[in-house]
Structure 1
Amino acid sequence: MTTVAAYAAAAAKAPLERTTIERRAVGEFDVLIDIKFVGICHSDIHQAREGWGEAVFPMVPGHEIAGVVAEVGPGVRRFKVGDHVGVGCMVDSCRECENCRAGLEQFCVQRPTWTYNAVGKDGKPTYGGYSQKIVVDENYVLRIPDGLALDVAAPLMCAGITTYSPFRYWNVGPGKRVAVVGLGGLGHMAVKIAHAMGAEVTVLSQSLRKKEDGLRLGADHYYATGDPATFDNLRGTFDVILNTVSAPLDYDAFLSLLRTGGAMVTVGMPEEPVQIQFSSLFGNRRSLTSSSIGGIRETQEMLDFCAEHGLGADIELIRADQINEAYERVGRSDVRYRFVIDTATI
């Protein structure tokens, strides 16, 4: 085992503080990664504050990991020392169920082993990327293509795949009208990816404060949802609405913006219950649905797509001792558009 420095929350809502954790010895099929950068995802905050229910503490968050291979086990064939690699939201799954066999490990019937706030098959808690190193089975490690810098690639491990996967599933491309609700860590990647796929992209945000950014990122249109006229003017417009915000919305109003057969896909998960009127779904075969991350194969596909199109996250690089401040700023939407921790500062 190896002792490494990390930042952890000792209990729900406790500030994250520097500590040390143990990483397992490198096994036959393991990859030891020197973590260089790790993104701060809003889900880190939800979990560290137990906003989504009971959690495992002490907690080392972080599932947007980018780094360099430092060691490989004797059975590893896909990676070598020096490779640029990433780790996303999961580090294992049952590997035997129908979903795992289909490359949908995120829907593992036995539940995936999440990168943090989980218990692994060895009975020990998993610790995430707010740390210097991590050991991961090679089957759950992603290759970061040449041309993608590690700092801007790190958020792709969650924000990238969380938006790419539903666009692929709902066949976003030329001729499709896509709306992105919210221009934050997820939303800004959704705009970039949908634009690169060839769709007509609209941002729906509370105000026009980020309009210039939205258009720069690839949006064709930008509307303020705080203006009631927006919902009148855009009624029946979109094939797909991707909701990236993790706060309750007026779902009935947003569903009215879908074309016949359109889908509103939610990837942000509010802590509070939400309500809809089922009448909003009837009559036009509209769907209100959700999407998670993607499987390992699809996540690699996303990374290759982003490299091909020159897509990385817009980031603000911070020191590890700024994590608690960053959490507060995320809550105020005061980041454009993803905080990334330089792990050399841990």
Structure 2
Amino acid sequence: MLSCIGYGAQKASDRLAPFKFDRRDTGPEDVRIDILYCGVCHSDIHQARNEWHNTVYPCVPGHEIVGRVSEVGASVTKFKVGDLAGVGCMVDSCRECPSCKEGLEQYCENGFVGTYNGEDRQGRGNTYGGYSKAIVVDQAFVLKVPENLDLAAVAPLLCAGITTYSPLRHWKVGPGQRVGVVGLGGLGHMAVKFARAFGAQVVLFTTSQSKVEDGLRLGAHEVVLSKDPEAMAKETASFDFILDAVAADHDINAYLNLLKREGTLVQVGAPEKPLPVSVFSLIMKRRNFAGSLIGGIAETQEMLDFCGEHGITSDIEMIAMDEIETAYSRMMKSDVKYRFVIDMATLENAA
């Protein structure tokens, strides 16, 4: 077994603190990665504090992982020691259901194994995530990281990046389309970057005047203040596609009404309470309201390669491991531009 140290919670009311645990030995198909950087996702807060009522403790969060390969199993062909590698939200799936066979492991009909708070399929207990020194993952769920990008800024691509890239690709967003992005946070800022890179006319919707300048800097052609009724009215029935990245309660019908006939709104933000949908927002123009969840392994690799070719990364704030609780508090206030990333070199001092 590999003796490992991480930062985790023993129960929902705990602050995150140093936690020693064992990783499995590197098996024939496994890749061991020494973690360099780990992004901080809002899901980490939900899980650490059991806000989704499914956390298994101890819990070591983190599923936006970038590091360097330090050991490979005898049957590994995709990686060698010294390679850069990434791990996202999944470390396994059943690999047998129709979704898995189509490269859509995120929709595994038997449930994918989460990078943390997941039940290992080989009966090795609960999985622990990237707020740790190292991780051991089957090569089938390890990703190649482009050498030319800022590695710390790559980490959030493994969740925030693929969560927005996947629906934009699936609904074939591209030149000649008018695309809206709702909310400028960890997800929204990546959606703006990708939609612009795909050649669409990009309009950002935000409630905050302070985000107008940043929205334009990140690639939006226009920014609309969604609290302004006149500004919203001007956008009625003018969008081919809208990606909604807001995780707070909001009026979804206000955005459905901005779609053209047969336009699509895809929800990737996850509000705590259900969003009431007026059926007339849909049926009068045969509009579509859909959802999307991360991406499969092949698509995530495609996204990373695309980012390497186009120089796309996340806008980040770097923190030390022992600053995680402060980061959580700031995230709850939406006080981050636009993703916290932990420098895992600081773990030893924090422990």
Return the TM-score normalized by structure 2: 0.97
**Distance between the aligned counterparts of 2:247 and 2:171, measured in 1?**
21
* Counterpart Cα distance in 2 of 1:288 and 1:157: 25
Pairing of 1:262-341 with structure 2 (within 5 A): 262-341=263-342
- Residues of 1 paired with 2:274 and 2:287: CA distance? 21
Once the two structures are superposed, residues 97-141 of structure 1 have per-residue CA deviations (whole angstroms, 9 ceiling, x without a partner) of 111111001111111001011111133000000001000000000
Off by >3 Å, runs of 4+ in structure 1:
none
CA distance in 2, matches of 1:160, 1:117: 21
Task: Give, in whole Å, the separation in 2 of the partners of 1:74 and 1:215.
Answer: 49
DSSP 3-state at the match of 2:109: coil
What is the CA-CA distance between 1:168 and the residue it aligns to?
0.4
Give, in whole Å, the separation in 2 of the partners of 1:220 and 1:18.
45
Q: Which amino acid aligns with 1:265?
A: V
313-322 or 248-257, larger mean C-alpha shift: 248-257
Aligned letter for 2:271? P
Q: Deviations over 1:230-277 (max 9, x none)?
A: 221111111111111111210111110111111110111112222121
Q: Which moved more, 1:291-300 or 1:141-150?
A: 141-150
Alignment of 1:30-179 (within 5 A): 30-123=30-123, 124-179=125-180
**Residues 1:29 and 2:29 are matched in the alignment:** yes
Are positions 1:251 and 2:252 aligned together? Answer: yes
Could you tell me which amino acid in structure 1 is paired with residue 41 of structure 2?
C
CA distance in 2, matches of 1:267, 1:30: 31
Partner Cα distance (2:46, 2:231) in 1: 31
* Corresponding position of 1:182: 183
Aligned equivalents of 2:266, 2:220: Cα separation in 1: 18
- State the alpha-carbon separation in 1 of the partners of residues 90 and 171 from structure 2: 23
Shift of 1:12: 1.8
Q: CA-to-partner distance for each residue in 1:288-326, whole Å, 9 max, x for gaps?
A: 110001000000000000111100111100000000110
Question: 2:239 touches 2:260 (CA, 8 Å); kept in 1?
Answer: yes
Query: CA separation in 2, counterparts of 1:231 and 1:203?
Result: 12
Between the aligned partners of 2:184 and 2:13, the Cα distance in structure 1 is 26
Identify the residue that residue 217 of structure 2 maps to in structure 1: 216
Number of matched residues? 346
- Identify which range, 142-151 or 74-83, moves more after superposition: 142-151
Aligned residue for 1:308, secondary structure, equals: helix
Q: By how many angstroms is 1:52 displaced? A: 2.3
User: Alpha-carbon deviation of 1:337?
Assistant: 0.6
**More displaced stretch, 313-322 vs 274-283:** 274-283
* 3-state SS, counterpart of residue 224 of structure 2: strand
Q: Secondary structure at the match of 1:94?
A: coil
Q: Counterpart amino acid of 1:217? A: L
> Aligned-pair distance for 1:5?
1.1
Contact 2:9 2:60 in 1 (8 A): yes
The CA deviation at 1:13 is: 4.0
Please give the alpha-carbon distance, in whole angstroms, between the structure 2 residues aligned to 1:21 and 1:208.
46
SS at match of 1:38: strand
Which string of whole-angstrom CA distances, capped at 9 and with x for unpartnered residues, describes residues 165-205 of structure 1?
Answer: 00001110101111111111111111111100000101101
Q: TM-score, normalised by structure 1?
A: 0.98
Equivalent position SS for 2:283: coil
Q: Deviations over 1:82-102 (max 9, x none)?
A: 000100000000011111111
Taking the aligned partners of 1:203 and 1:53, their CA distance within structure 2 comes to: 33
Deviates more, 1:288-297 or 1:270-279: 270-279
Kept after mapping to 1: 8 A contact 2:265/2:289? yes
C-alpha distance in 2, partners of 1:172/1:80?
36
Q: Distance in 2 between matches of 1:263 and 1:343?
A: 40
